[in-house]
A and B are shown apart, each in its own frame.
Chain A
Amino acid sequence: MNVFRAALYKELLLQWRTRARVLSVVVFGATALLLMSFAIGPDAGALRMHAGGFLWLALLLSSTLTLEASLEAETEQQALEGLLLLPVPPTILFYAKALANTLQLALLGAVLVPVAIVLYGAETARPLALFGLLVLGAAGLAAPGTLYATMTARARAKQTLLPLLLFPLVVPVLIAATKASSLLILGDPMRQLAAWLTLLAAFCGIYWTLCGLMFGLIVED
């Protein structure tokens, strides 16, 4: 537990030190949100209807940047190998990194929500539920994202490879999170929210277990 706390602290410290880059990811996400409205046109009703989807697409596009950045710090001077030699168990490394990436993505989402409110009128009566959804969705992106980013950081053509692997995999996350966000923004007369949150939670449960189990296989040289 001490070691896990230390590993998590390391991730958060690294993120805090590279916060200038995090800021540019926020700007990237906001830009993506703005651009998507041009694909729909200035129809306030249609924009509000699609706001949930835009939010998650912007978050998904930004996630590859934050995931790549979180691995860059470990590959510059082969810090990852150094960690394994201490030795820190790979499972601990994975969960610390995935948790830190979840936090970062959820915060990024929390910053993008006000942008979506301003641009699309995407207010919700249940802001807390929306934040919970952001955390859950971020967790769904972060677990496979961390695993794949660890692979692609050490492969050729890493910039294209990560989205190529990650995006098809997280289709269920995108669908469930988009639906759930729309229900929170537009209202939920049929009480469907719980079903989508369950789907998200199931995805997270499966991939947090599976990726944690297999992380050790891909970090060994």
Chain B
Amino acid sequence: MANFRRFRPDDLNKLSKCNLDPFTETYDLGFYLQYYAKWPSLFQVAEDQHGNIIGYIMGKLESSPDVYRFSEHYLPWHAHITAVTVAPEARRLGIGKLLTEQLEVAADANGAWFVDLFVRVSNHKAIAFYKSMGYSVFRVVKDYYGEHSTDPTLSSEDAYDMRKPMKRDVKRQHVRDDGEKHEVDPSVVW
């Protein structure tokens, strides 16, 4: 039912199974193409037998700008998962996990220290999923999201910055066990 391959721009005409799902954000064209232009190997899709995209992951490789080099929040060369989504009909088959693993392979191939991502603290399902894949909370970014996903009375929500060390981080110097206790302001997150 699924093929895994690198994204290509024509796929943008086949995104409906993923992007008509209310939980999947649709971005501007420039946003998708920026990822495809700069990090094509980190933009992978799963397609069904009819060519519909039933899952995709978008990621990037970067480090903080040099001016932050001496900041405690400086991020060394790493991969970042920007978006990962699976169409409702293709869930519970491990597609999200496979896509994430493929991104990790690319991250290793490109010498990344770790892979990181942001997730709402209320998204327990996603947090459990990432934890099962070896990710752990590195820090809590206070009020990272402009609205709360479950409580309309709240105007913001915290994010977990979760990380998984890559092969390069032999000494696991870029992860920590008590990340939930490290709170940071969104302004220091690059």
Do these two chains interact? no
